[in-house]
Chain A
Amino acid sequence: MATTLTLKELSKKEDRFTHGHRMCSGCGAPIVVKIALMATDYPVVISNATGCLEVSSCISEFTAWNVPWIHTAFENAAATLSGVETMYRSLKKQGKFDREVKFIAFGGDGGTYDIGFQSLSGAMERGHDMIYICYDNGAYMNTGIQRSSATPLGADTTTCPAGSVIPGKLRSRKNLTKIMAAHNIPYVAQASPSHWQDLAKKIQKAHEIKGPKFINVIAPCNRGWRSKTNDAIMLSRLAVNTCYWPLYEIENGTTKITVTPKQKLPIVDFLKPQGRFKHLFSPENEGLLTQVQDEIDREWEKLLKEAKTD
C-alpha cells in the first residue's frame, strides 16, 4: 500500500497522531511521529517506550494516538512489540485473523541507546517483523536533560555540566545506527524530519521489507539543546548539512547515502545556535571544538568509503 509522497496528497489523510498532545512548543518528536505514521496506509500497532513522547502523548484519559498504542516501560518497547507481533503471527496461522498489520516501536535515545538496548538487540536478533524508530534528541530530556550515550561530545547537560572542572560531556556519542547494522538485519537507516520525503520514503521502504528494521531519526529538543522554539527543522537540516547526522540506509549490508549535502558546512554552524555548546566557543575549549570537527570529518569519510565500496 503505497501512499503518494506529495504534501498535497498526504494532507488529505486523517491525522494518526492528533493535536492536543502535550509535547513542548516546537518539539521535534511529534514531527517525526506524524511523518512516520503518515507515510503508510497499513494499519499499525505502536509500542512506545517511556520518554517525552510517551508521557506527553497519553495523559490520563487523553491520547493523541489514533492507532492502537501500548505504553511500555523504559526498557522494553521492543520486547513488548515482539510479543504482540508473535501473537499476530500465531492468530494468522490459526486462521483467526487475516488483516495485514504492521508494527512500529518508538523510543527516545534514552530508551533506545541505553535502557532499552538489550530488549531492542534481542528483538532484532530474533527477527520480529517490526520497525523500531528511535527519535534521538541526545539526552534524557523528559527527566531534566541528563546525559545519555547519544549526547554528543562537549554538550552541556545537568549530569555533565560545563564549567571550570569539565567542558561538558567528555565522551563521544555511540553510533547506534552502525551498531544496529552490525546485527545484520535487513534494513537500517538514519533520517531527519527536515528531509520529510526522505524520512517517509525510508518508512515506506521499511514496511515492505520483512524482518526487523531500525530507523534512527534526529529530533531537536529546544529545551535541552538550549535553542529557540522555532528552530527544530532548521537545526535538523543543519545536522544533515554539517554531516553530524548523515542520511543513509543500509539495506542487506549495502550502504547508500540518500542525501548528500550540496556543500558540507562546518560543524560550528550546527553548534552555534545551541546553548548547550556555548562554552565550546570560549578560547580554552578551542581544542575540543577541533576534536568535534575532526570526529565528524572522520566518520563522514568512513561512510563515503563504505557507500563507495558497497
Chain B
Amino acid sequence: MKPKGWKDLPPGSVVLEGGSAAKFKTGSWRAFRPIWKEENCIQCLFCWIYCPDMAVKVKDGKRGDFDYDYCKGCGICALECPGKKGQKAIVMTEEGK
C-alpha cells in the first residue's frame, strides 16, 4: 500500500476509519506457525479469547482456522490449549521448514 502524503491526510491527522489496522498485516512477524488439529479440538475457544492478535477465526461460535495474515506466532494458544485426551489441538511448527 502506498503511504499517503500530508496533503491527503485529514486535519490534525485524525484517523476517521475505525479498525483500519486490519489493513496492516502482521503475519510476516511470525517465526513459529500454529497448526490447528481439528480432531483434537474440543471447541473450548480458549485460543480465541487468549489470542493477543485476534488471529483465531470463529464463526457462529465454532472455531475455524487461524488467520495467518495476522498471527504473530507467540504460541499462547498452543500453551493454553487443553486438547483432547492429552493430545493438543494446536501445535507450533517452525516457519520455513
Contacts and interface: CB of A to CB of B under 8 A. Distances in A.
Contacts of B13: 60-61
B19 A64 contact: yes
Given A19-B53, A57-B21, A26 B15 contact: no
Contact of B78 (A7, A22, A230): A230
Contact of A15 (B4, B19, B60): B19
Contact of B21 (A64, A193, A230, A234): A64
Contacts of B46: 7
Interface string A2-43: 000001111110010111111111111111001100000000
Which secondary structure dominates where chain A touches chain B?
loop
Interface in B30-72: 30, 44-46, 48-55, 58, 60-61, 67, 69-70, 72
A293 interface: no
For chain B, what secondary structure do more than half of its interface residues adopt (helix, strand, loop), or is it mixed? Answer: loop
Contacts, number: 131
A196 B49 contact: yes
A61 B23 CA distance: 10
A62 B23 contact: yes
B9 A7 contact: no
Given A19-B54, A61-B9, A233-B50, A26 B72 contact: yes
Interface string A173-212: 0000000000000000000010010000000000000000
A58 interface: yes
A22 B18 contact: no
A35 to B, nearest CB: 7
A233 B76 CA distance: 7
A30 B80 contact: no
B96 interface: no
Interface string A132-172: 00000000000000000000000000000000000000000
A258 interface: no
A66 interface: yes
Interface of A: 7-12, 15, 17-31, 34-35, 57-67, 193, 196, 222, 228-234
Interface of B: 3-4, 9, 13, 15, 17-26, 29-30, 44-46, 48-55, 58, 60-61, 67, 69-70, 72-76, 78-80, 92
